[in-house]
Amino acid sequence: MKNKQIAEIFDQIADILEFKGELVFKINAYRRAGRAISELAEDIEDLWREGRLGEISGVGKGLQEKIGEFLTTGQIAELQELAQHVPSGLFELLSVQNFGPKTAALAFKELGVETLTDLQRVLQDGSLAKLPGMGAKKVENIRKGLEFRLSAEERLSIGLVVPIVDEVVAYLKKVGPKIGRLSPAGSVRRGRETVHDIDLLAETDHGADVIKAFTDMPEVTQILGAGDTKGSVILNDRVQIDIRAVPAESFGAALQYFTGSKDHNVHLREIAKKLGYKINEYGIFANDKKIGGDQEEAIYEKLGMSWIPPELREDRGEIEAAQQGHIPQLLQQEDILADLHVHSVYSDGQLTVAEMADAVRARGYRYMAFCDHSRYANYANGMDEKRLLKQIQEIKALNSKMKDFVILTGCEVDILPDGTLDFGDEMLAQLDFVIASIHSGFKTNPTERAIRAMQNPYVDVIGHPTGRLISRREGYDIDVNAIIQEAAKTGTALEINSYWDRLDLSDVNAKLAIDAGVKISINTDAHHPEHLPMMRYGVATARRGWATKGDIINTLTVDELKKWQKRNRIRT
């Protein structure tokens, strides 16, 4: 897919136009189109071939031509042209906080600053400070921004951020003066797989006191700003947290406003304007008279639509759906009855079968499946048939002693480089549940191998189908559409692996699969009880993919699962 590349080019064009001081509306048009394209579920090349580029919101005639140009020639002439008279490292430079397009243009014109290294130099030798409008504080803020930019990762995985959010929320509830409702907002609330920073919203009549408690937190290593209603800090030199303090009568409006996404909000405010309303973080207003703001639901209601779950707020059609009352009842954590991919000491898990089963049961699930690695995965202490048979016996013995909880026998069987499975059908037939995964030979026909695995009637699920690791690698060179088509054809489920660094399928791919009628299995792939709570990230990812309860096999009871499998296994 070239979606990301094209989105990035539009964003770069916007950066350059901004640097040049062009009309802000033109700049925004490029940014908006870029975001819409990067959020697109479908392959933009397909849309282009089918003449459907105009369906992308914010993409008009001019940008359609540019997309066509890129897909035909591999470049966009306008970008090459524009890039000639701007700093070579412009996009990096603009990623430095407090160093915006105006300052960048000034530093380029007067001092020849083209790269981050140049910026570092002019900060050190004092030449930046001598430019007009550059006071000591401004220069210091740019220096801090550069420092943070050089040390921090671009985006943080949700699994690293959510525990921090939970801690900060707990801390503020304890020490924060007179805080009522306190909620994450922004991309954390939307359940995105990675986030740039953390947004919090506090209900209070004592904003300044709350902001002070916030900036006084022990983990704060830098205060970026602190007013009566807004504070911004960096925690442990790593992650930025912003907080907004609002009175009760504005909390709902502020929650809506700060949850975003930007495109979702812009779209909403356009609708509001047409209806004669104004929305801001303090409420929804008709002729300067406030008609709502305490509850988030009221904002949507006044705009003539149903409430939209935060995970859907990306302006990918959810607003139109809400206007028509077509927002589906999304999957909820409580719908999940089982974790179907858990490891034990039989392969690379850290606890015994009994210990791990206790931990899973303690989370309130009704049943589970152990899917330890097969022998080919010897780096993970993969089981041979003998050990797997022993595990089956152990699980049977445990089941006979347990009430109200069932352990399914299973295996995460390796898809071998030649496309066959690590165990034969005789072995697989003895298992309740089978996940097939690729763990090696990522570059050796992964698509064909996964397709062949799905054609095996005993394979229920393809584990972590695209093989990506969010912080480390792109994933296999796999044709996701082909995988989805075969999954639909064979009745095989695809996994959303909830491990924070995987979230594979991604939300976008999950939506494609669900739209094609493919069932999804959401699992933690837990090797330790600490991993079990990560189910929430998998659920959030599924919700972002518009998943309902009916799309997810983990919501089935054991009997229903068996029925689903039987249908599944009858196929040829």
Q: Which residues bind DNA (CB under 7 A)?
A: 23, 25-26, 28-30, 33, 57-64, 94, 96-104, 132-139, 141, 145, 186, 197, 199, 225-230, 240, 242, 258, 262, 265-266, 269-270, 273-274, 278-281
Smaller CB distance to DNA: residue 141 or 420? 141
In the complex, minimum distance from the CB of residue 246 to DNA, in angstroms, rounded to a whole number: 10
In the complex, minimum distance from the CB of residue 57 to DNA, in angstroms, rounded to a whole number: 5
Can you tell me the distance from the alpha carbon of 463 to that of 523, in angstroms, rounded to the nearest whole number? 9
Q: How far lies 74's CA from each of 59, 64, 91, 571, in Å?
A: 19, 15, 20, 43
Using CB atoms within 10 A of its CB, is residue 10 exposed (0-12), middle (13-18) or buried (19+)?
buried
Element containing residue 239 per DSSP (H, E): strand 239-246
Can you tell me the distance from the alpha carbon of 309 to that of 296, in angstroms, rounded to the nearest whole number? 11
Q: What is the DSSP letter of 192?
A: -
CA 228 from chain center: how many Å? Answer: 32
Smaller CB distance to DNA: residue 142 or 383? 142
Smaller CB distance to DNA: residue 118 or 414? 118
Contact (CB, 8 A) for 200 and 168: yes
Can you tell me the distance from the alpha carbon of 66 to that of 61, in angstroms, rounded to the nearest whole number? 9
In the complex, minimum distance from the CB of residue 204 to DNA, in angstroms, rounded to a whole number: 13
For 134-141, which contacts have Cβ atoms below 8 Å and span 24 or more sequence positions?
Answer: 138/98, 141/97, 141/98
Smaller CB distance to DNA: residue 199 or 486? 199
In the complex, minimum distance from the CB of residue 9 to DNA, in angstroms, rounded to a whole number: 13
Smaller CB distance to DNA: residue 258 or 300? 258
In the complex, minimum distance from the CB of residue 82 to DNA, in angstroms, rounded to a whole number: 10
Q: State whether residue 60 is helix, strand or coil.
A: coil
Q: State whether residue 405 is helix, strand or coil.
A: coil
Smaller CB distance to DNA: residue 145 or 550? 145
In the complex, minimum distance from the CB of residue 100 to DNA, in angstroms, rounded to a whole number: 2
Contact (CB, 8 A) for 437 and 467: no
In the complex, minimum distance from the CB of residue 230 to DNA, in angstroms, rounded to a whole number: 4
In the complex, minimum distance from the CB of residue 133 to DNA, in angstroms, rounded to a whole number: 5
Smaller CB distance to DNA: residue 226 or 488? 226
Smaller CB distance to DNA: residue 29 or 540? 29
- β-bridge partners, 199: 185, 242
Q: Which string of DSSP letters, residue by residue, matches 224-253?
A: EEE-SSEEEEEETTTEEEEEEEE-GGGHHH
Smaller CB distance to DNA: residue 66 or 544? 66
Q: b or e along 369-403 (b: 16 or more beta carbons within 10 Å of the residue's beta carbon)?
A: bbbbbbbbbeebbbbeeebbeebbebbeebeeeee
Smaller CB distance to DNA: residue 29 or 299? 29
In the complex, minimum distance from the CB of residue 12 to DNA, in angstroms, rounded to a whole number: 14
Strand 194-195 with 156-157, pairing: antiparallel
Strand 520-523 with 493-497, pairing: parallel
Contact (CB, 8 A) for 224 and 240: yes
In the complex, minimum distance from the CB of residue 33 to DNA, in angstroms, rounded to a whole number: 6
Strand 433-437 with 461-462, pairing: parallel
